[in-house]
Structure 1
Amino acid sequence: MDQSASRELAGIAALAARSVGDRLREAFRSRPAVRTKRDFHDPVTEHDRAAEDIIRAVIAAECPDSVIVGEEGGVRRADGGEADAAEEGAVDGRVRWYVDPIDGTANFAAGVPFFCVSVAAAAGDEVVAGVVYDPMREEEFTAGPDGAFLGGRRLRSAGAASDREAMLLTSYPSSRDLAVEGEAALGRFGRLVTSFAAVRRPGSAALKLAHVAAGWSDVAFGMGASPWDVAAGSLLVRRAGGVYIPLGGSVFRVGGYLAHVGGFDLAGSALPEVARLRPAQISG
């Protein structure tokens, strides 16, 4: 895809993400009713689906001949028609949009101001544009062919060089990690706590990746992420000069992720052991 087309898609992503800002700010700390999806650790509110509907409408108006892969609404053509599952590669050669209307729903529902809107565009097997929008701070992180930006300021993903200086943002271990790995997960988490200068569990994979892209944190790590959680953030990190590693082999598959600022010594970190990285993943 040429650069002008990617820039246009980045503009549409920003328009779509910002279209729900007012609604989310107004609903914040209203303690909305919460339902659950997979289990009680996976909440959803009326605002998740309503925000996704608004975002889908914006994309349909701006880019009707495309496919939208949303956390709440699944895979559908922007014009409302059915679409095949969109994992890796094109769907009928169309642009694919990966939409998470509220990444960090548990935080949003409880009144913790760490959540965001994530919108990314992909062509073939490549994410070509992405926006992570923090409506509470009015911060818009945008990635496209020209780099990664916060507002009009170019982002540079730079920070700590080693674990003992670094801030790690992680969701590991989740309840699912504990169910699968048992006590071993707690041991791995302990390894991270003792190795890194600081470890935080703020929620919202997309916003964690945006903070790594900005150099506000040094490393982000999680397991079991969906494409809509990480598509935009992965491009932000890479365009800012950081490193993004999809632990499932592709950003378009459900799997883990690891991202770090440029210049971080991954080979000397505790993360390869905890994340069970292959040598090729460590060396890039």
Structure 2
Amino acid sequence: MDVTQLLDTATEAARSVGPRLRKAFRSRPEVGTKRDFHDPVTEHDRAAEETIRSVIDARVPGSAIVGEEGGATGSGDLVWYVDPIDGTANFAAGLPFFCVSIAAAVGGELVAGVVYDPVREDEFTATTAGAWCNGTPIRSRGAATDREAMLLCAYPTPLDLEKEGEEALRRYARFLESFAAVRRPGSAALNLAHVAAGWSDATYGTWSNPWDVAAGALLVRQAGGVYIGDPLAKGDYLAHVGGFDLAGSALSEVAGRSPGA
């Protein structure tokens, strides 16, 4: 199966759960928790992942799938990384910043991915041939320095505060002092997609999982931006638009000292 067919499968799977998520959005679904109360889950996360898995299984039988809710199943060189709702807290509360993220890797290399925003119906896609938003090619271009840049940030998380204490707050303060604007929207995958599209300039997060960032990492790289980190392993990530001065950025000092890498 070539990368176009893999992308077609990913986009079909992502769009297959769009109607359910739009219908459930702002219904204030019952929320459970996983690791702790900062890690919510709803029935829609689980149901959406089941639907996505069924589409992938039907189109590419025998694939390995690594999902946030269902864990790892199957085996082989082709592996799908699935986050049915990246930004569950936003989805559950009614804040329209969440997405479906699906990526395909062959032999440990990302080759296709989609980040689908079901509220806005924005579909960010990437293969080894390029990156697109709603079918239009995108380029990751924007600010060159912190003082001009919009930073989308997930740091510090409660785990960062637990590990670093007040030092995490001091590092976050460096972002606030250095960047023109800092926002914490709550979805790593959408943050990366927005950097890929040049709608924001940089993003940084810690303790991420492959299903959070795999599709977004491919988007950024194929759009001409920079992604730093291993998107197929748990850890930290940093991404920015092409031409951004990372060496002169507060990101370089903060990311270089974070323990989650």
TM-score tier after normalising by the smaller chain length = over 0.9
Kindly report which structure 2 residues correspond to 1:113-128, keeping only aligned pairs within 5 A, or say none. 113-128=96-111
Residue number among 117, 137, 151 corresponding to 2:120 in the alignment: 137
Kindly report which structure 2 residues correspond to 1:149-228, keeping only aligned pairs within 5 A, or say none. 149-228=132-211
Quote the residue 1:273 is aligned against: 253
Mapped partners of 1:43, 1:269: distance in 2: 33
Mapped partners of 1:155, 1:135: distance in 2: 19
Mapped partners of 1:33, 1:154: distance in 2: 39
Q: Taking structure 1 as the reference length, what is the TM-score of the superposition?
A: 0.89
**Helix, strand or coil for the counterpart of 1:61?**
helix
Q: Could you list the runs of 5+ residues in structure 1 that have no partner in the other structure?
A: 78-90, 279-284
1:50 positional shift: 0.1
Quote the residue 1:67 is aligned against: 64
* Runs of 4+, deviation exceeding 6 Å: none
1:65 positional shift: 2.3
1:277 positional shift: 6.6
* CA offsets 1:88-107 (integer angstroms, 9 cap, x no match): xxx43x31000000000000
* CA offsets 1:204-262 (integer angstroms, 9 cap, x no match): 0000000000000000100010000000000000000000001xxx2111111000000
- Whether 1:256 and 2:236 are equivalent positions in the alignment is yes
Task: Tell me, yes or no, if the aligned pair for 1:163 and 1:197 is still in contact at 8 Å.
Answer: yes
* CA offsets 1:82-131 (integer angstroms, 9 cap, x no match): xxxxxxxxx43x31000000000000000000000000000112110000
Residue number among 213, 217, 238 corresponding to 1:230 in the alignment: 213
Mapped partners of 1:152, 1:105: distance in 2: 26
Q: Could you list the runs of 5+ residues in structure 2 that have no partner in the other structure?
A: none
Quote the residue 1:21 is aligned against: 18
Q: Taking structure 2 as the reference length, what is the TM-score of the superposition?
A: 0.97
